[in-house]
Amino acid sequence: MRSSARPLAALLAALTLTAGLFATGAPASARANDVVPAAEASDVSLAADTYDWKNVRIDGGGFVPGIVFNRSEKNLAYARTDIGGAYRWDQAGKQWTPLLDWVDWDRWGWSGVVSLASDSADPDNVYAAVGTYTNSWDPNNGAVLRSSDRGASWKAAELPFKLGGNMPGRGMGERLAVDPNKNSVLYLGAPSGNGLWRSTDSGVTWSEVTAFPNPGNYAQDPTDTSGYGNDNQGIVWVTFDERTGSAGGATQDIYVGVADKDNTVYRSTDGGVTWSRIAGQPTGYLSHKGVLDSANGYLYLTLSDTGGPYDGGKGRIWRYATATGAWTDVSPVAEADTYYGFSGLSVDRQHPGTLMATAYSSWWPDTQIFRSTDSGATWTQAWDYSSYPNRTNRFTQDVSSVPWLTWGANPAPPETSPKLGWMTEALEIDPFDSDRMMYGTGATIYGTENLGNWDSGSQFKITPMVKGLEETAVNDLASPPSGAPLLSALGDIGGFRHTALDTVPGMMFTSPNLTSTTSLDFAEASPNTVVRVGSADAAPHIGFSTDNGSNWFQGSDPAGVTGGGTVAAAADGSGFVWSPEGAGVHHTTGFGSSWSASTGIPAGATVESDRKNPKKFYGYRAGTFYVSTDGGATFTAKASTGLPAEGNVRFKAVPGIEGDVWLAGGSATGAYGLWHSTDSGATFTKLSGIEQADSVGFGKAAAGASYQTLFVTAKIGGVRGVFRSTDAGTTWTRINDDAHQWGWIGAAITGDPRVYGRVYVSTNGRGIMYGDSSDGDGGGTDPGTDPGTDPGTDPGTDPGNPPGDAACSVTYKVTNQWSGGFQADVTLTNTGTAALDGWQLGWTFADGQKVTQMWNATPTQDGTKVKAASISWNGKVAPGASVGFGFTGTLTGGNAAPAAFALGDEACSTG
């Protein structure tokens, strides 16, 4: 089950939009450049380092409520997630490419995607309706993003209302649709009583369809006062009958699904001018999906008595004959035999009359998938009972590529492990390949490439089709000095011991199985000793390991524990301090067979351990710092002043140095920033120039540095991002960029104690990101001087024939290419002994390519000649350091890489 965690403290309303430096080797990037852009940072003491960012592989981990295939181009498909962005299918690699990593801290809600639409008239166009919550949890309105290069870059039209990518009913849809005959026309179904909206200029502007009569009235829980369960789920899908239009003319017949059990389907027969409820339609249910088989004129509805994605106790499937107006109940089972609702729905575009549907809310013993080859007259199902409780499956299931999908379970029949799925609200048959089908679950995307075996009587094979799609919400991270490089605490699937960053772990933490791990720690001097705490359906809420997280055993709970809270391990592993939900702070020696209440510290405090003295522990609550010197038995409040009394606060002690503590956090309405103590919290010093900070971590020291490398998620010099310091916070390097922002990233950050520059960053829905520096071992401390604004030398010389050689090298890489366009990354490395103070790189395109958008550099192009100039904050490039930028472009023929590059009027080497 996946509940999709939201950021803490009402989700950190209204932080600052930022700009940054592009890193190489990245997925597609973008900017929402129809909204007011952020002001560029003025002169700040920041250096630039190019980082290569990747996901720590888990593969999936969250709910995929929508899959969309383009109807006119083979192998073009998209997936949407509730909090983790949107993805495009890469057929060559059989993996997904993330498209919304550019979403920034301030607009974190745009990582929630409530609907996707791919333009069948022009496959380069794709649209996404974004926004995570319709209530106060999300401070921003929703938007419709539009891309003319398949999601490589985006523009945004901000809406006058919010959208709910992580709200109840998010599996219904698609709410966003492009007119297949006149692709400048789009429709969007809005929640919260905001009605039906239309754009007639390809998504640039939107207006309400005032003639549409019904904004919906269904809410999951009308008694809820939070704005979550009691929100009107609104207009839930839009479907066109493409037969009622011709190329260039608006489609006349449009069908719209409404969250109203008595009036769930409406139609327009005049291109959206007038609308009416279709007579004879089923009542008592909500239509989750409405799909029209244009070959035979049947509109199919999958219905449930609730909006999902978790609930649903009864459901039906109905068919509407558009030619005659006749409605027919074509449900595969009698209503009395359903204990679930129907949602996932797809028709086979190669074989009219073939359709499939899912019982999305059949949690036990498994979900069910139904298939009909005669327009719903008869059905078969993915599994049947042979003799209860034994099952006969039409499929085989191989999860060896993502082995944790078994959850380590060995259930009794009729349950199986792995399961076919749950929350199966998305199912799509490839419109070009009847053998390929994909469907989303609460944890992954499954699919098959031999679906035709279903009808022939042999088994078809189901495997995960989720590589590249990372959707976990990350609560905590730890990188021990020995053993596995990373341990993770995750929402919904517990967490993992990551022995290799590019390999899917074999199994999540078990014994106990925690639904969400909220905190974990290891003993600094004995890294094989690990502790974790989290949510569980029943006690215990804590587990211990003595082999670096490979194997676990259960601890016991103090009385009253209801949730994980935070936990800390003594530096030598001799004891632990736990601040759980539902009970006060407790301490233990050994492995938690019994607990004693700590004194002098309030319930709900965050706890951490000193990384040198095994008897010393720290706590923090509401502006007060606490210290224990007796293993957590008693705590003393320190007199430090000026610390944040509200907002999220996270702190950590530096490995190997007693009493050295860094504290990050606060809120925009009070104290907010980064503080440092060298006396166990007796006094703290606030670092100047750091306007906001949210998490702090440590990694291997740079060459020649005596202090651990610091990493923070912060706002420094007006810039929001991920920062590194190798000189104890005197100067800072921003190491992420516009293309890599990942929305809200405030929960956890840690460096790697064994690899200089490597950092692990938590996200709330995009999994664990890790970055590696191109800066070698660091070469000492960060330069930290004013990057200046000097554009460098005169760029007038033809870069294809420069007169001299410069101390620079350039790497040029095409990272994505499609019909008529491409994306490329460029890395410029200073190979000399003096710093670059402003740079301008030039080249000539051999095939006449044109730059359409560039990030982290300013472009100019004259014919085939291109120049990219540094921006105000990344012009300073230290000896041995690199700077990167990226761009999208158009092409009409070949796409050969430039043969030569020039820095000013001197040639760079290429590599």
In angstroms, the Cα distances linking 147 to 78, 82, 906 are 13, 20, 37
Q: What is the CA radius of gyration of the chain?
A: 28
Asked whether the beta carbons of 781 and 731 are under 8 A apart, the reply is yes
For residues 247 and 226, what is the distance between their CA atoms, to the nearest angstrom? 46
Which pair of tokens denotes residue 787? 């990057």
Which pair of tokens denotes residue 361? 């809310």
DSSP state letter for 737: B
Please pick, among 119, 253, 492, 772, the residue that the annotation labels catalytic. 492
Active site annotation includes 122: no
| CB atoms closer than 10 angstroms to residue 864 | 15
For residues 95 and 126, what is the distance between their CA atoms, to the nearest angstrom? 18
Asked whether the beta carbons of 64 and 445 are under 8 A apart, the reply is yes
- How is the beta sheet containing 86-90 ordered, strand by strand? 66-69, 77-80, 86-90, 95-98
For residues 743 and 85, what is the distance between their CA atoms, to the nearest angstrom? 9
In angstroms, the Cα distances linking 44 to 535, 717, 734, 797 are 42, 5, 11, 32
Which pair of tokens denotes residue 57? 């592989």
Residue listed under structure tokens 């492990």: 417
The three-state secondary structure class of 412 is coil
For 316, phi and psi rounded to 5 degrees?
-145, 165
Nearest to 771 by CA among 19, 56, 86: 56
Active site annotation includes 179: no
In angstroms, the Cα distances linking 17 to 87, 150, 222, 285 are 23, 24, 35, 42
Which pair of tokens denotes residue 80? 């949407």
DSSP state letter for 708: P
Nearest to 179 by CA among 205, 155, 198, 159: 198
Which pair of tokens denotes residue 168? 């109840």
For residues 227 and 706, what is the distance between their CA atoms, to the nearest angstrom? 52
Asked whether the beta carbons of 619 and 590 are under 8 A apart, the reply is no
Asked whether the beta carbons of 495 and 487 are under 8 A apart, the reply is yes
Asked whether the beta carbons of 131 and 141 are under 8 A apart, the reply is yes
Asked whether the beta carbons of 527 and 483 are under 8 A apart, the reply is yes
Please pick, among 34, 49, 59, 82, the residue that the annotation labels catalytic. 82
Which pair of tokens denotes residue 862? 């004259």
Q: Residue 492: what residue type?
A: D
Residues across the chain: 911
For 632, phi and psi rounded to 5 degrees?
95, 5
Region of 178 on the Ramachandran plot (φ > 0 left; ψ -120 to 50 alpha; else beta): beta
Q: Residue 688: what residue type?
A: S
For 540, phi and psi rounded to 5 degrees?
-90, 160
DSSP bridge partners of 826: 812, 885
Antiparallel, parallel or unpaired: β 77-80 and 383-385: unpaired
For residues 192 and 489, what is the distance between their CA atoms, to the nearest angstrom? 34
Nearest to 83 by CA among 469, 446, 519: 469
For 868, phi and psi rounded to 5 degrees?
-120, 120
In angstroms, the Cα distances linking 99 to 56, 303, 698, 851 are 17, 31, 30, 19
The set of catalytic residues is 82, 492
